[in-house]
Amino acid sequence: MKSAVYTKAGQVGLASIERPQIIEADDVIIRVVRACVCGSDLWRYRNPETKAGHKNSGHEAIGIVEEAGEAITTVKPGDFVIVPFTHGCGECDACLAGFDGSCDNHIGNNLGGDFQAEYIRFHYANWALVKIPGQPSDYTEGMLKSLLTLADVMPTGYHAARVANVQKGDKVVVIGDGAVGQCAVIAAKMRGASQIILMSRHEDCQKMAMESGATAVVAERGQEGITKVREILGGGADAALECVGTEAAIEQALGVLHNGGRMGFVGVPHYNNRALGSTFMQNISVAGGAASATTYDKQFLLKAVLDGDINPGRVFTSSYKLEDIDQAYKDMDERKTIKSMIVIE
Amino acid sequence: MKSAVYTKAGQVGLASIERPQIIEADDVIIRVVRACVCGSDLWRYRNPETKAGHKNSGHEAIGIVEEAGEAITTVKPGDFVIVPFTHGCGECDACLAGFDGSCDNHIGNNLGGDFQAEYIRFHYANWALVKIPGQPSDYTEGMLKSLLTLADVMPTGYHAARVANVQKGDKVVVIGDGAVGQCAVIAAKMRGASQIILMSRHEDCQKMAMESGATAVVAERGQEGITKVREILGGGADAALECVGTEAAIEQALGVLHNGGRMGFVGVPHYNNRALGSTFMQNISVAGGAASATTYDKQFLLKAVLDGDINPGRVFTSSYKLEDIDQAYKDMDERKTIKSMIVIE
């Protein structure tokens, strides 16, 4: 069969290679109908260290099931399917929480799919493939394009909006005007954002985003871009969707948010930030800061205390007069009390 | 009036100082009834660079309004109030989103309150103070203790659970067995967690947490502790509440989560991690990773495409045959197309 192979940095060729075969019981062989090039493929394409003959890193396709391993119960030869860039098992804690992109069982098997080829061997296929009704010939070319986006860029744009918890009425800023950024605009609109600003310097991308639901475009970058966004929104954004993967894009995203805002980032990290890199691999959300004492007290905590529903006061295991303040610190420092209360009368 | 003052590292004394006066129109002077010592006060208490005469860093109290500035409309002399460690304005984007701990207007004015004293001058008081019904003499000492926790530790423990989005049925791990950790256990229970594990090596703290709703205790730390937690839960945790503020505690929290899990961290960062430090100051949540392509497609994206509700396929602005794969990469690399589709037939 024909398959794309990297020839050298900045060049991809075509090679005639063996058609893949079923190896594991949960493999599926798929005849590709449409594949595509991902922004992340370009990182390898450009890499001066890419060796000739290295298979392509394509990982997005739609196609027809050609052959299914004996453990496969969900699809059969002839089925038209979305071939996602992930291999969720559908059973682990991560998959059950809707994070099959970081499946606890198949982590590390997500990319490098060699999908720019006539046939694909797709591992762990039983739960991960998504059936499309009918056959490719039933659809227009435009619809086939949209179905193809469901292999990666549309779910990825959606993921940014979901993990940033975009809600009805939110003011949202999208960083990155490529395919994923465009899909993030669509996702923000699906979730009911009231304002969606795309940061973009390219006229074609700006136009596409405005047609998909963006309400404004900001071409400026850095501090100038942040100021422009805040002018348009009359303040900071509720959510920022980072769809690039550079430190500058992360800074831009954090910069446009009001305090208490939410960043969803799906650009594959191309920066040395250990904290963000490690949470990205695990799809873990990280949030914290000073508590909203006034809000929580007024809304429910004071009532819960007065009603006797909770008894947080038990943390004060010792009480002191103000005159004994030194002892109050010392006892707490030495763990003789969990927390020292000062009685002032 | 009497006020606690730092004398030297490891020593606090009492000084006679001027009673604070109203300075700004939105100041309130409060006569303190109960104050306390916070774990974060101990950082200054222990600091060898703390100079004699430096006022105390106490920032938690309940008390009686003694005098109110002319702009104050919400409380009047004689009112019994919670004096929180924060000064939310109640009007900015952050306060409206329930993040008054990182108020956009009064950021940086949260701590260093000199609350371990007979009287307090509380800035920006109009929205931030919380009225308690009645007078101190109406309450038992136990209830006064619980009311005092509402100035900081109980909302802070709750904040960890809220920003980690703890929900009914969640498996939750609390890192830190001090006052905030104890309150995080209470908060996890309030939000309906089905399992709550406290990581603690201190018998008194373990006992207190079990009385508040913890379902298990793990004394081991590091990898051993993570393994123990996973044994008890039969997998990773849905949420980890970090209530310490050290890098080891953060590692522990991230380690117990399954992929797709959520960390809420409220321990004031005492580590050099620029990314986490900066998001903590802004109370910004950060989440991201590989998308859940299969889940989203099966749940709603495939339907949205087939129904024509969304048209993400427009990102494919050029199509190529597999034979023209090099051009497909090149055009995308040079931004002649937003995304290249490969037609394989």
For residues A197 and A215, is the Cβ–Cβ distance under 8 A? yes
Check residue B281 and give its pLDDT: 82
- DSSP strand E in chain A: where? 2-8, 11-16, 28-36, 54-55, 61-68, 80-83, 119-122, 130-132, 171-175, 195-199, 216-218, 237-242, 257-265, 285-288, 316-321, 339-343
Each residue of A214-231: pLDDT tens digit? Answer: 999 999 999 999 999 999
Dist CA A227 CA A229 (whole Å)? 5
Q: What is residue B44's predicted lDDT score, i.e. its pLDDT?
A: 83
* CA proximity to A63, closest of A141, A153, A147, A172: A147
**Residues of chain A positioned with their CB less than 8 A from the CB of B209:** none
Nearest CB among B205, B284, B326 relative to A338 is that of B205
The answer to whether the Cβ–Cβ distance between B130 and A290 falls below 8 Å is no
Which superfamily does A1-151+290-341 belong to? Medium-chain alcohol dehydrogenases, catalytic domain (3.90.180.10)
Name the more confident of A48 and B302. Answer: B302
Locate the DSSP E strands across chain B.
2-8, 11-16, 28-36, 54-55, 61-68, 80-83, 119-122, 130-132, 171-175, 195-199, 216-218, 237-242, 257-265, 285-288, 316-321, 339-343
First-last CA distance in chain A: 87
pLDDT tens digits for B117-146? 999 999 999 999 999 999 999 999 999 999
Residue B156, chain A, CB below 8 Å: the answer is yes
* pLDDT value of position A111: 57
Tokens 């596409």 found at: A208
pLDDT recorded at residue B239: 97
Give B94's contacts (C-beta < 8 A, 6+ positions apart): A258, A259, A260, B88, B100, B102, B103, B104, B283
Q: Is residue B238 pLDDT above 80, yes or no?
A: yes
Beta-sheet pairing, A130-132 with A80-83: antiparallel
* Residue A23 Cα, gap to closest chain B Cα (Å): 23
Strand, helix or coil for residue B250: helix
DSSP-derived pairing of the beta strands A171-175 and A237-242: parallel
Q: Which of A120-129, B52-61, B107-116 is most confident?
A: A120-129
User: Contacts of residue B88 in chain A, CB cutoff 8 Å?
Assistant: 292, 294-295
Q: Kindly report, residue by residue over A299-311, the tens digit of the pLDDT.
A: 999 999 999 999 9
Q: What is the pLDDT of residues B214-237, one digit of tens each?
A: 999 999 999 999 999 999 999 999
Name every chain A residue with its beta carbon within 8 A of the beta carbon of B335.
202
Is B232 an 8 Å CB contact of chain A?
A: no
Determine the residue among A103, A316, A340 to mutate to test chain B binding: the one whose Cβ has the most chain B Cβ atoms within 10 Å.
A316
Q: What is the pLDDT of residue A52?
A: 82
Q: CB distance from A225 to chain B under 8 Å?
A: no
- Per-residue pLDDT, averaged over B245-251, amounts to 91
pLDDT of residue B214: 98
- Read off the pLDDT of each residue in A244-249 and give the average, rounded to a whole number: 91
Residue B243: which of B198, B288, B285, B203 has the closest Cα? B198
Return the pLDDT at A61: 95
The overall average pLDDT reported for chain B is 92
Residues 6+ apart with CB under 8 A from A251: none
Could you read off the pLDDT of A163-208 as tens digits, one per residue? 999 999 999 999 999 999 999 999 999 999 999 999 999 999 999 9
List the single residue in B with minimal CA-CA distance to A109. Answer: B290
Q: What is the share, in percent, of chain B residues with pLDDT greater than 70?
A: 97
pLDDT of B165 above 90: yes
Average pLDDT in chain A? 92
Give CA B173 to chain center in angstroms: 15
Region B162-184: mean pLDDT is 97
Residues 195-214 of B with CB under 8 A from A: 202, 204-205, 208, 211-212
C-beta neighbour count of B248 within 10 angstroms: 12
Q: From CA A83, how far away is CA A95, in angstroms rounded?
A: 17
Alpha carbons A266 and A283: distance in angstroms, whole number: 10
Residue B164 has pLDDT above 60, yes or no: yes
* Residue ranges per structural domain of chain B: 1-151+290-341, 152-286
CA distance A28 to chain B (A): 16
Contacts B326 to A, Cβ<8 Å: 7, 11-13
Per DSSP, the residues of A154-190 read: HHHHHHHHHHTT--TT-EEEEE--SHHHHHHHHHHHH
| Residue B4, beta-bridge partner list | B14
Distance from CA of B77 to the nearest CA of A (A): 17
Q: Where are any strands of DSSP class E within B48-178?
A: 54-55, 61-68, 80-83, 119-122, 130-132, 171-175
Closest by CA to B142, choosing from A243, A59, A124, A310, is A310
Instruction: List the single residue in A99, A242, A298 with the smallest CB-CB distance to B130.
Output: A298
Q: Which residue of B has its CA nearest to A8?
A: B326
User: B275 falls in which pLDDT band (50, 70, 90)?
Assistant: low
- Cβ pair A260, B284 in contact under 8 A: yes
B212 contacts A338? CB cut-off 8 A? no
Cβ <8 Å between B93 and A325 = no
Contacts A164 to B, Cβ<8 Å: 285, 287
What is the value of pTM for the model shown?
0.92
ipTM above 0.85, yes or no: yes
Q: What was the pLDDT predicted at B282? A: 86
Distance between CA atoms of B318 and B316, rounded to whole angstroms? Answer: 6
Residues of B whose CB is below 8 A from A14: 322-323, 325
How does pLDDT run across B29-71, given as a tens digit for each residue? 999 999 999 988 888 888 888 888 878 889 999 999 999 999 9
Span A229-247, average pLDDT? 95
How far, in whole angstroms, is CA B254 from its chain's centroid?
Answer: 16
Token match 């370009």: residue? A42
Which residues of A fall within a CB distance of 8 Å from B345?
33
For residue B328, the chain A residues in CB contact (below 8 A) are 12, 37
Positive/negative CA dihedral, B250, A88, A151, B298: negative
**A121/chain B closest Cα distance in angstroms:** 16
| Contact in structure between B239 and B261 (CB atoms under 8 Å) | yes
What is the DSSP track for A235-254?
Answer: S-EEEEEE-S-SHHHHHHHH
Alpha-carbon distances, residue B204 vs A243, A336, B59 (angstroms)? 48, 10, 25
Q: Which residue among A99, A205, A305 places its CB closest to the CB of B338? A: A205
Domain A152-286 matching CATH 3.40.50.620: the answer reads no
φ/ψ of B123, rounded to 5, equals -80, 160
β-strands A11-16, A61-68 pairing: unpaired
In this predicted structure, the answer to whether residue A238 has a pLDDT above a threshold of 90 is yes
Partner-chain contact B286 A281, CB within 8 Å: no
Distances (CA, A) of A226 to A198, A256, A284, A301: 12, 5, 27, 36
Query: If pLDDT is split at 50, 70 and 90, which confidence band does A281 have?
Result: confident
Cβ atoms of A109 and A124 closer than 8 Å: yes
- Residues of chain B contacting A314 with CB distance shorter than 8 Å: 142, 145, 182, 208, 211-212
Which positions 34-63 of A are in contact with B (Cβ < 8 Å)?
A: 34-39, 41-42, 45-46, 56, 58
Residue type, B124: Y
Angle between helices B247-256 and B222-233 (to 10 degrees): 30
CB atoms within 10 A of CB B247: 15
Q: Is the pLDDT of residue B108 over 60?
A: no
Contact between B260 and A89 under an 8 Å Cβ cutoff? The reply is no
